[in-house]
Amino acid sequence: MTPTGPCNAPDVVDVVALGESMVTFLPSRPGRLADVPSFDRGIGGAESNVACVLAAAGHSTRWVSAVGADGFGDHLVAEIGGYGVDVASVRRDPARPTGIYFRTAGDRADDAHEVAYYRAGSAASAMSTATVDLAAARAGRVLHLSGITAALSGTCLDLLWELTEPGTERPLVSFDVNHRPGLWAEPDRARVLLDLARRADVVFVGADEALDAWGLSGAAAIRAALPEPALVVVKLGADGAVALGGDTTRVRAPRVDVVAAVGAGDAFAAGFLSATLRRLPVRDRLRHGHLTAAAALTVPGDLAAPPARDHADRLAALDEDAWGRLRLGPGWTEDAQRADEEVRTS
């Protein structure tokens, strides 16, 4: 499916991303949160990450959200706006704070990994159909949402029901399930994500989170539970991803020398949506998703500059054997003229 969107609406952009972003405090050294003496400040938010990566890839994007009327809110708006994202529809809430969180330096999949969230009662958690500029949210060729927003509050969930309401005037709706068990007070409530996903046009879901949230095992079972979306993209980790629409398309992931696993899922969605906006074949959409994820995997932070478009296009066009030999390491996106050195095949 390719996006059409409400092209007669004012200020239409390629992608609108709606959701909470928080100020992130990253440890200055490995260790328990109790032992780390200092932290560096960053930004974190699944939806704004997608908007930032797409803006860096040359697309027009808008972030719709709410932050506190505080210094942390100032920082988020300035940083995300600095990527070229339109932040004019971000509401400043004088009564509620901007969310923040701290995390350890280790991989999130590690048992020793710690995350401490301070987001309860945040400005973003109070988003509702009454406080969000719905026209601005809908004025994109693509509207990107995630299940994180659904878990923040009842009013946020109502907002997602409104934005995913079927109708001819809505943009193409992209939904990343992003199941976060810790956000759901009642684990069974996470099944609401299945109902939201069924209302989307493009769905991104990890095979592991589909099993955890819905008890579904395997891409075929996931597709059977989600018959309505035009495309369901099931992420299989190092094994690649499969897109299920009228046909089934599977693309293995290139080998990556991983620096940090944070941000890869958001980057994958951004790469896939970029290729969708360009009306590329589904195989190439998956390959661009993998390449953009590889850019995130080979840097320490949540956000990484995507590969230049011509560089990514050249790699996405490789034949199956050459694609299977790709190995991407730190620095591979930095200089397209040195692609043969930076992108090793073996």
| Alpha-carbon gap, residue 282 to 266, rounded angstroms | 18
Tally of CB atoms within 10 A around 8: 8
Amino acid at 45: G
Beta strands 39-44 and 100-103: pairing type?
unpaired
For residue 293 the two structure tokens come to 């994820």
Pairs from 304-308 (Cβ < 8 Å, separation ≥ 24): 304/53, 304/263, 304/267, 304/333, 305/56, 305/333, 306/53, 306/56, 306/57, 306/267, 306/270, 306/271, 306/274, 306/333, 307/332, 307/333, 307/336, 308/333, 308/336
What is the set of active-site residues?
266
Sign of CA dihedral 227, 233, 237, 239: positive
For residue 176 the two structure tokens come to 């990343």
| Alpha-carbon gap, residue 69 to 54, rounded angstroms | 27
DSSP H/E element including 264: helix 264-277
Largest CA distance in the chain: 57
| Alpha-carbon gap, residue 90 to 19, rounded angstroms | 10
Amino acid at 26: L
DSSP H/E element including 262: none
